[in-house]
Amino acid sequence: MSNFFSQLINGLQLGSIYALVALGYSMVYGIILLLNFAHGDIIMIGAYTSWIVMAKMGLPPVAAIFATVIVCTLLGVFIEKVAYTPLRSAPRISLLITAIGISYFLEYGAQLIWGASAQVIPSYYNVAPISIGGVKISFTAILTIAVSVVSMIALALLVQKTKVGKAMRAVSEDTGAAQLMGINVNATISFTFAIGSALAGIGSVLYCCQYAQATPTMGSMLGLKAFVAAVLGGIGSIPGAMVGGFAIGIAECFVSAIGLSVWKDAVVFAILIVVLLVKPAGLLGRQLQEKV
């Protein structure tokens, strides 16, 4: 039973990181219908930022956390301005290929600059695990789950209660009509990228708390899983991204726990396929009818 709980905690921890990253995918997809393949690589750049600030410059962890989130946010907006804005009216596939190109560029650029081998990130803090009823829970797990829940609540409030959140919802509903109502569409899209990338930055710090390494390709599989989480929950839906993230994290941990860890990626994709076939819009997504 205690094993069950510790696996559940592991799953929730992993799932909250997936959920944070999935939110970035989901928001961007909701607003410009783009699968932002470069999103996972923003996390990778975030990890390298932490490494540079702490290991190379010797600054305290707080500085590294702020630097990581800021760098990720700026990078996300920069990518949007340079690569995606010129393609606003282009066919969707061109946008997708551009995203793949950016992803390649970041991965191989990082490999060129920092080398292909892993860089070890110094630990951010040092707190002993807490024991509740015989189950040892690491401080990282508690922190990860708490930070992601707080971020998600903050995001939900931002989207539902503020003016800019209203603008985001309007643009994702109907870009043309939003523009006619006097909403600055470009600024709103940039803001969405900024929020999504900031969440990726937070996710990056949390990920590095657990796996203290930075490698050029660390973002691709993480990004892919997070994207699967977003689709699973219903892309474009914020609660959906959370549900999807937790579902994938927990599934992965339990599959590993029963000794099938080599199959865990296959199980994740199989769940995705089954859900998409039964409910094509995802668990919490809205089914849109195509008008003729």
Partner 1 sequence: MKERKTIPMAVRYLMNIVLVAAFLTALNLLVVNKTLSTYNAKVLMLVGVNIILAVSLNVATGYLGQLPLGHAGFMAVGAYASAIFTKNFDGRLPDEVNFVLGLVLAAVLAFGVGVLIGIPALRLQGDYLAILTLGFGEIIRITLNNIDNVLGFKLTYGAAGLKNIPKYTSVLNAFVWVAVCCYVIHTMMKSRHGRAILAIRENEIAADSCGIQTTYYKVLGFAVSAAFAGVAGGLYAGYLGVLNPGNFGFMKSIEILVMVVLGGMGSMLGSVLSATVLTVLPEALRSFSEYRMVVYALALVLMMIFKPSGLLGQYDFSLSRLVEKLINGELFQKKSKTEKEGE
Phi, psi of 119 (to 5 degrees): -105, 130
What's the min distance (Å) between Cβ of 35 and partner 1? 5
Which residue number, 125 or 269, has a Cβ lying nearer to partner 1? 269
> Closest Cα to residue 34, out of 179, 232, 196?
196
Which residue number, 101 or 129, has a Cβ lying nearer to partner 1? 101
List of residues 6+ apart from 184 with CB closer than 8 A: 167
Is residue 280 within 8 A of residue 49, CB to CB? The reply is no
Q: Which stretch binds partner 1 (CB under 8 A): 99-107, 175-183, 194-202, 206-214?
A: 99-107
What's the min distance (Å) between Cβ of 289 and partner 1? 12
What's the min distance (Å) between Cβ of 163 and partner 1? 30
Residue 97 binding partner 1, by CB under 8 A: yes
Phi, psi of 123 (to 5 degrees): -75, 145
For the four alpha carbons of 70, 154, 205 and 48, in that order, the dihedral sign comes to negative
Is residue 73 within 8 A of residue 194, CB to CB? The reply is yes
Which residue number, 36 or 151, has a Cβ lying nearer to partner 1? 36
Residue 104 binding partner 1, by CB under 8 A: yes
Q: What's the CA gap between 31 and 284, in Å, rounded? A: 17
Residue 158 binding partner 1, by CB under 8 A: no
> Closest Cα to residue 36, out of 66, 2, 76?
76
Residue 283 binding partner 1, by CB under 8 A: no
Kindly list the distances between the CA atom of residue 143 and the CA atoms of 5, 137, 193, 197, 210, in Å, as whole numbers in the listed order: 17, 11, 25, 20, 11
Q: Across the chain, how many H-helices and E-strands are there?
A: 11, 4
Q: What's the CA gap between 69 and 201, in Å, rounded? A: 4
Which residue number, 100 or 157, has a Cβ lying nearer to partner 1? 100
What's the min distance (Å) between Cβ of 31 and partner 1? 14
Residue 98 binding partner 1, by CB under 8 A: yes
List of residues 6+ apart from 85 with CB closer than 8 A: 186
> Closest Cα to residue 16, out of 157, 144, 139, 199?
144
Which residue number, 107 or 252, has a Cβ lying nearer to partner 1? 107
Residue 287 binding partner 1, by CB under 8 A: no
Residue 266 binding partner 1, by CB under 8 A: yes
Residue 269 binding partner 1, by CB under 8 A: yes
Residue 4 binding partner 1, by CB under 8 A: no
Residue 101 binding partner 1, by CB under 8 A: yes
Residue 112 binding partner 1, by CB under 8 A: yes
Interface with partner 1 in residues 226-255 (CB under 8 A): 227-228, 231
Question: Two tokens at 81?
Answer: 């301005």
What's the min distance (Å) between Cβ of 220 and partner 1? 8
Among 1, 128, 262, 288, binds partner 1 (CB under 8 A): 262
Residues engaged in binding partner 1 (CB under 8 A): 29, 33, 35, 83, 86-87, 90-98, 100-105, 107-109, 111-112, 220, 224, 227-228, 231, 262-263, 265-266, 269-270, 272-273, 276-277, 280, 290, 292
